């Protein structure tokens, strides 16, 4: 069964006239007749009742028309997808992110891709630590990652997006909520809600470094396993939590996030494996460079 036979059949079925069908397809009328005969022979059924005055679909022809149209449409869409895949408009991207440092970047990137590249299929992994994301990139379990802190590894490429700083998360009614920034010394008598210590770069490491530099040893500390629990504890009035300023999208409206005055800058980056670049991945990199990068030293 040839594609041109199916095209001829659908055209004749729509026109119910061999001459008009031939004109529409820019072929000679005998060619249309031959293609219909070949298709009927291949299927073993008669598709049209034809006499000198009219052309009508048989029951078999009527039953064949809808699936034939569907098949032609599917082939056209498949060709379109294949052509567009070369430009990156179609394709699949597996994206990993570190919520503590890059949630706002993730929100912005998803908005850009949905608006400008709606046919790109984006699969977002769960939030992970930066070292875990880098390993998944090297193992080709992810295509691209949004990370905070050091982002080095054999075969990895990156674009620096922006610096971020440590923020203090507290209730709106807290006295420190009215400050433009919170000095580390002001935390000495506060109950702190801290994430568990983990190897590598983390929010907890940034907090510990800031406290150590200021010589502050908090009196009361509650340790939690993840950022969502930290926010819940802060909302419940247990104490003060911490997050990077690039995680504002996670902060509930009844809480405030204020910069820590003596906090140090941390770079956020887009990272990928150089050997794993595809047209779709290059589309994502270009979108980040155009809409997200604010660091002058972006490479």
Look up the CATH number of the domain holding residue 36: 1.10.10.10
Question: Residue 220 domain-assigned?
Answer: yes
Question: Residue 107 domain-assigned?
Answer: yes
Any idea what the CATH number is for the domain that residue 179 is in? 3.40.190.10
- Tell me how many domains the chain contains: 3
pLDDT band at 18 (very low <50, low <70, confident <90, very high): very high
Question: Residue 298 domain-assigned?
Answer: no
Check: pTM over 0.85? Answer yes or no: no
Tell me the pLDDT tens digit for each residue of 67-110. 999 999 888 877 766 665 666 777 889 999 998 899 999 999 99
Q: Same structural domain for residues 131 and 69? A: no
CB 108 within 8 A of CB 291: yes
Which 3 state secondary structure label does DSSP give 165? coil
Name the average pLDDT for the chain.
Answer: 90
Say what the pLDDT of residue 295 is. 60
Domain coverage including residue 105 = 91-163+266-291
Say what the pLDDT of residue 299 is. 47
Strands (E), 17-138: 48-50, 55-57, 91-97, 120-127
Q: Which of 278, 295, 296, 285 is nearest to 109 (CA)?
A: 285
What is the rounded CA–CA span in Å between residue 144 and residue 158? 9
Q: Same structural domain for residues 183 and 245? A: yes
Question: Residue 296 domain-assigned?
Answer: no
Tell me the pLDDT tens digit for each residue of 141-155. 999 999 998 888 889
Q: Same structural domain for residues 20 and 71? A: yes
């Amino acid at each position: 069964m040839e594609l041109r036979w199916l095209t001829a059949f659908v055209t004749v079925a729509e026109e119910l006239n061999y001459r008009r069908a031939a004109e529409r397809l820019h072929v000679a009328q005998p060619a249309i007749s031959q293609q219909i005969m070949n298709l009927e022979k291949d299927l073993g059924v008669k598709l049209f009742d034809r006499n000198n005055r009219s052309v009508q679909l048989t029951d078999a022809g009527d039953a064949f028309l809808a699936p034939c149209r569907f098949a032609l449409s599917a082939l056209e869409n498949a060709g379109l997808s294949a052509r567009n895949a070369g430009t990156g408009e179609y394709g699949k991207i597996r994206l990993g992110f570190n919520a503590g440092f890059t949630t706002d970047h993730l929100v912005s990137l998803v908005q850009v891709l949905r608006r400008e590249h709606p046919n790109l299929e984006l699969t977002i992994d769960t939030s992970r630590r930066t070292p875990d994301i880098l390993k998944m990139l090297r193992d080709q379990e992810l295509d691209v990652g949004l990370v905070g802190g050091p982002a080095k590894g054999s075969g990895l490429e990156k674009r620096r997006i922006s610096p971020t700083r440590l923020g203090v998360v507290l209730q709106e009614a807290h006295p420190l909520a009215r400050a433009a920034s919170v000095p580390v010394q002001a935390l000495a008598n506060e109950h702190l809600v801290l994430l568990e210590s983990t190897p590598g770069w983390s929010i907890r490491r940034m907090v510990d470094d800031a406290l150590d530099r200021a010589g502050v040893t908090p009196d009361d500390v509650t340790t939690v396993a993840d950022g969502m629990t930290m926010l819940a504890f802060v909302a419940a009035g247990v104490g003060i939590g911490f997050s990077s300023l690039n995680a504002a999208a996670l902060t509930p409206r009844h809480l405030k996030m204020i910069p820590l005055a003596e906090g140090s800058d941390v770079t956020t980056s887009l990272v990928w494996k150089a050997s794993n670049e595809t047209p779709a991945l290059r589309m994502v990199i270009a979108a980040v460079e155009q809409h997200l990068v604010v660091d002058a030293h972006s490479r």
